[in-house]
Structure 1
Amino acid sequence: MAKHEHGSMDTTSQEKTFDNFMNWVKWSSIVIIGILVFMAIFAR
């Protein structure tokens, strides 16, 4: 079994996935807040 060296793993794929997830969360939040503001302005 190869000896593990801390910090030697390539995390490029995980970092890209996390960045994409955070981008999705940001835009989803913006859309949801926009819908809520729209509903608050035009509520009867």
Structure 2
Amino acid sequence: MADHHTHGEMDTTEQEKTYDSFIWFVSRGTIAIIVFLIFLALVGA
């Protein structure tokens, strides 16, 4: 583990990339589910 003695000194680049990927995945998944539900409503399944 790295030694961090000063607040705000840690490199958070990887955490930010992971968070951005997570938000992208969740938003696209939500859109896909909504589109699928609309499709089911229109088809009448």
What is the TM-score normalised by the length of structure 2?
A: 0.87
Residues 3-28 of structure 1, C-alpha deviations (whole Å, 9 max, x = no match): 61000000000000000000000100
Percent identical: 47
Q: Does 1:39 align with 2:40?
A: yes
Gap regions ≥5 residues in structure 2: none
**Cα distance in 2, alignment partners of residues 3 and 34 from structure 1:** 46
Computed over aligned residues only, the root mean square deviation of the Cα atoms, in angstroms, reads 1.5
Q: Does 1:10 align with 2:8?
A: no
Instruction: Report how many aligned residue pairs link the two structures.
Output: 43
What is the TM-score normalised by the length of structure 1?
A: 0.89
Q: Secondary structure at the match of 2:27?
A: helix
Structure 1 stretches of 4+ with a deviation exceeding 6 A read: none
